[in-house]
Amino acid sequence: MKDIQLKQLFVSTDDYTGKEIIIRGWVRTNRSSNKFGFVEINDGSYFKSVQVVYEEAFISNFDEIAKAPISAALCVTGELVLTPESKQPFEIKAREVIVEAGSHADYPLQKKRHSLEFLREIAHLRPRSNTFSAVFRVRSLVAYAIHQFFQENNFVYVHTPIITGSDAEGAGEMFRVTTLDLDKLPRAESGKIDYSQDFFGKETNLTVSGQLEAETFALAFRNVYTFGPTFRAENSNTARHASEFWMIEPEVAFADIHDNMALAESMIKYIINYTLEHALEEMKFFNEFIDKGLLDRLNNIVSNDFARVTYTEAVDILSKAEKEFQFPVKWGIDLQTEHERYLTEEIYRKPVFVTDYPKEIKAFYMRLNEDGKTVAAMDLLVPGVGEIIGGSQREERYDHLVNRINELGLNEQDYWWYLDLRKYGGVKHAGYGLGFERIIMYITGMSNIRDVLPFPRTPKTAEF
C-alpha cells in the first residue's frame, strides 16, 4: 500500500474516512501515559500536523514509540477517524507504527519559542518550524503565482545573464567574477592586471538588473518578463537589504507608463489573491502570530484601486504636512523612506504610484517628459514597506537617449546594442522591477529580509 501525504488527508478527508491508510512524517510532539500515546506528525506536505493515537493494546512496540523524540520519522498504518468534538478535524488510530529514522537528544528545535536570530543560525533546520514552514511555502506559491500571471497573459519568460561583461547598468556596486589566480595575477607590460587572461577575456561582474537585456526581448516578443537572482555588493546591514535577492522584471512593447501601472496593479492583486486562496492556513498563522491586521490589509488592497500621484503633487502634499520630517522636502530631492511611508500610510492608506520624477534623480534610460524636467518614472509605495516596485517608460528616441548618455558621462560605445533597439523599430515600451523578497515580506508580515530567504547572503555572511 502506498503512503498518503498529509495534504491529501486534509483536502480530501472524506475519501479516507474510516479507511486504513499509511502516512509518514516527523514527530512534532509526543506524549503518553502507560496505556495511550498521542503523537503529532507532520510530513511537510501541509502546514498542519496530524494527530496519531497509539495504544499499548494494539502496538507491539508501544515503549519504543512512546520514547520517539521530536524530529524522529515514523511510518504509521492506521484508520482515519473523524473527531468532530476536537480542535483537529480527524486523527489516526494506529495499528502499526515503525520508526523510520531516529533523532538525537540534542536536536536544536525543541518545542519552545526560539528567536528568529537563533533560527537563522540553523537555517538548515528552521524550515521545520511553523514560522518558516509557512514562510517558505508562501515564497514558493508566490513565485508560482507570478509565473502563472505572466504566462496567462502570454508573456515570454527570459533568462537574462547572471554574469555580465556589460558595464551598462550602472546601478550600484557589483561583485567581481573571476578565475584568475589572485596569488599570481597576470600583468600586462603597463603593470596593469591583464584581464584578457581571465575566463571571459575581460572584466566580469554579477548582474544588478536584467532590464536592458529584457528590452531586447520585449522588442521581439512584445510581452516578456525576467525572474532571477540579482546582486548588490553594498555594505548595508539593514532589515530590508540582502546581497543576493530575486527580482521580477516585466517589459512590454507598445506600452506607456499608464499601461505599466495597470500591469503592476493587476499583478500585485493577482499574487495576493492567489496566496490567500492557496495558503490560507499559513496566512491565518501570520495574521495571528506575526502581524495582526495582515489579512485586513491584504483584503483592503485587492478590493481597492491603487492611488496615483505625480512627484510634483507629492512634494506639495509633503510640504504642507503637519509632520516634522528628518529630511526637509523640496522639489528635486529624492523621496526618503519617511516621506514614502507618510504618503502611503497617512495620506492614501493604500498602495500609491508616484510618477514623473525629476530626471536628475532617475536612471538615464527613462523617457523624458514634455516639460524637459521630469521623466516617465513610476514607483509603487505600499503601507508598511515603502517602495516595492520601481519602473518607467523607456526612452525610445535615439537622439534623446544618446544625449542623456553623454550628459551623464557614460560611454556611448558600451551601449551599442541598447542603442540599436532605437534604430530598428524602436517603439515605445515600459517595464518595472519587483523585488521578490519585498513582496514576500509584504505578504507574510515578516520584517527582516533574512527571514524570507532560504540561505541569506549579507555582508560577512555566506553560510551553508
> 22 or 333: whose CB is closer to a second copy?
22
Site string for a second copy, 139-178 (x = CB under 8 A): xxx-xx--x---x--xxxxxxxxxxxxx------x-xxxx
- Residue 368 in contact with a second copy, rule: CB under 8 A: no
> 173 or 288: whose CB is closer to a second copy?
173
The stretch near a second copy (CB under 8 A) out of 83-91, 124-132, 279-287, 300-308 is: 124-132
Phi, psi for residue 378 in degrees, rounded to 5: -145, 125
- Residue 444 in contact with a second copy, rule: CB under 8 A: no
Tell me the residue type at 205.
N
CA nearest neighbour of 150 among 220, 253, 227, 219: 227
The stretch near a second copy (CB under 8 A) out of 316-324, 356-364, 385-393, 447-455 is: 447-455
C-alpha cell at 324: 516634522
CB of 71 to a second copy, least distance (A): 4
Among the residues of 241-379, which ranges form H helices? Answer: 257-278, 280-285, 294-302, 311-319, 337-341
Chain residues 273-292 in contact with a second copy, contact rule CB under 8 A = none
CB of 356 to a second copy, least distance (A): 23
- Residue 396 in contact with a second copy, rule: CB under 8 A: yes
Q: Tell me the C-alpha distance between 185 and 259, whole Å.
A: 50
Chain residues 296-315 in contact with a second copy, contact rule CB under 8 A = none
* Residue 231 exposed, middle or buried by CB count within 10 Å (0-12, 13-18, 19+): buried
- Residue 128 in contact with a second copy, rule: CB under 8 A: yes
Report in angstroms the alpha-carbon separations of 357 from 63, 215, 254, 372, 402. Answer: 70, 22, 22, 11, 20
> 128 or 308: whose CB is closer to a second copy?
128
> 231 or 342: whose CB is closer to a second copy?
231
CA nearest neighbour of 41 among 14, 71, 15: 71
Give the position of cell 514576500: 440
Are residues 395 and 401 in contact, defined by beta-carbon separation less than 8 angstroms?
Answer: yes
> 51 or 243: whose CB is closer to a second copy?
243
Phi, psi for residue 312 in degrees, rounded to 5: -60, -45
Q: Tell me the C-alpha distance between 445 and 283, whole Å.
A: 10
> 327 or 464: whose CB is closer to a second copy?
464
- Residue 321 in contact with a second copy, rule: CB under 8 A: no
CB of 359 to a second copy, least distance (A): 23
CA torsion 417→419→423→428, rounded to 10°?
110
Residues whose CB falls within 8 Å of the CB of residue 316, separated by 6 or more in sequence, listed in order = none
CB of 91 to a second copy, least distance (A): 20
- Residue 455 in contact with a second copy, rule: CB under 8 A: yes
Chain residues 225-244 in contact with a second copy, contact rule CB under 8 A = 228-229, 231, 233, 235, 243-244
> 192 or 330: whose CB is closer to a second copy?
192
CA nearest neighbour of 89 among 194, 6, 191: 6
Residues 64, 100, 334, 360: which binds a second copy (CB under 8 A)? 100
> 142 or 318: whose CB is closer to a second copy?
142
Contacts 24+ apart (CB under 8 A), 4-13: 5/43, 5/45, 5/46, 6/42, 6/43, 6/45, 6/46, 6/48, 6/49, 6/50, 7/45, 7/46, 8/45, 9/46, 9/50, 9/80, 9/90, 10/46, 10/48, 10/89, 13/80, 13/82, 13/89, 13/90
Residues 246, 270, 285, 357: which binds a second copy (CB under 8 A)? 246
- Residue 101 in contact with a second copy, rule: CB under 8 A: yes
The stretch near a second copy (CB under 8 A) out of 283-291, 299-307, 335-343, 453-461 is: 453-461
Chain residues 17-76 in contact with a second copy, contact rule CB under 8 A = 24, 26-27, 43-45, 71-73
The stretch near a second copy (CB under 8 A) out of 57-65, 81-89, 101-109, 375-383 is: 101-109
Chain residues 397-436 in contact with a second copy, contact rule CB under 8 A = 417-418, 420-421, 423-428
CA nearest neighbour of 323 among 345, 342, 351, 350: 342
Size of the site for a second copy (CB under 8 A): 103
Report in angstroms the alpha-carbon separations of 189 from 71, 102, 181, 193. Answer: 62, 63, 18, 9
Chain residues 189-228 in contact with a second copy, contact rule CB under 8 A = 193, 199-202, 204, 206, 213, 216-217, 219-223, 228
Phi, psi for residue 53 in degrees, rounded to 5: -100, 125
CA nearest neighbour of 426 among 390, 402, 406: 402
Q: Tell me the C-alpha distance between 133 and 279, whole Å.
A: 11
> 314 or 441: whose CB is closer to a second copy?
441
> 67 or 147: whose CB is closer to a second copy?
147
CB of 34 to a second copy, least distance (A): 26
- Residue 448 in contact with a second copy, rule: CB under 8 A: no
Residues 35, 87, 104, 330: which binds a second copy (CB under 8 A)? 104
